[in-house]
Amino acid sequence: MRPLIFIGTTNLDINFYSTALPSVGQSLIGTIEEFAGGKGANQAVAAARLGGTPYFATMLGEDDAADSLMRALAGFGVQTSKIRRKPGGTSGKALILVATDGTNMMGIDVGANEEFNPDDVLAALEDVPEDAVMVVEMGLPVDTCRAAFENKKDRTLIFNPAPVRAQLTAADCKLIDIITPNETEAEELSGLHVSSVDQAFDAAMHLHDSGIAAVAITLGANGVVYVDAKRRVHQKAFPVDAVDTTAAGDAFNGALAVSVARGMEIEDSLCFAVATASLCVTRKGAQESMPTEQEVKHFLAEKGALKNAYF
């Protein structure tokens, strides 16, 4: 397997579970649980659970949350040597409201994540092999993301534009090997409405025509559509009973990175990544919900979709 590095955010997730999401002015009774989270951290954990040994570069504060977040990452097998701490800073936090059907609403206090700068990226990449698969997410400052792009060298760059903080330039697009927006992010980046598989293909083609080598738009219950110079693929979702959809996109990105690092064909990679995300949403929390390699293998076997190429 090729080396893996994830560059992104880390948060302490404070989850509120109730029967439904609240409307304006409504008070609900539910339960509160805390989990380790953050998009980049979740993606790195997903990769580690699937058999990778990923490095993770992020910025934590100097608080109790930072200590617990670091322990969680190390406990899942993520390589933590590239994690930095902001002197006197507070770690990122996310407040997540989750309904019984798994849908959610989220608010984020970025904390120390916003202090992760281009120089930190250069330091993190200094000893990362140039055949690595690199995953970057847009929760970091835009200049920090661009520093990762501009210093990718021969690494494969998977970019998760979540949340969309700026439009991509022509130079950005030329450096991205695979972009992985969801429907909302694809709309923001392409200017095209995305509420169906056909519309997702239109948006994917638009982004591909902008210079991005490959586009994978995640569609929740409709799976994912993928476009590159040679292929148009629709990988359907696997039906499951969703409990918490918070980290589904992160599970997908982590699994996609692992499958690319293993040299899997893109059709197999998409199936593997969708299966990983499908299992993720059947459990509470973010990092705790990430399935192991064997769990994904068993799930695919149950669905009649297991191939030797996966493992």
Catalytic residues: 250
Cα 306 to Cα 234: distance, rounded to the nearest angstrom: 18
Provide φ and ψ at 55, rounded to 5°: -85, 150
Q: Based on the number of CB atoms within 10 Å of its own CB, is 308 exposed (0-12), middle (13-18) or buried (19 or more)?
A: exposed
Q: How far is CA 87 from the centre of its chain?
A: 27
φ and ψ at 137, to 5 degrees?
-125, 155
Six token digits for residue 103: 């849908």
Residue type for 69, please? L
Q: Which residues pair with 233 in a beta bridge?
A: 226
Residue 127 is which amino acid? Answer: D
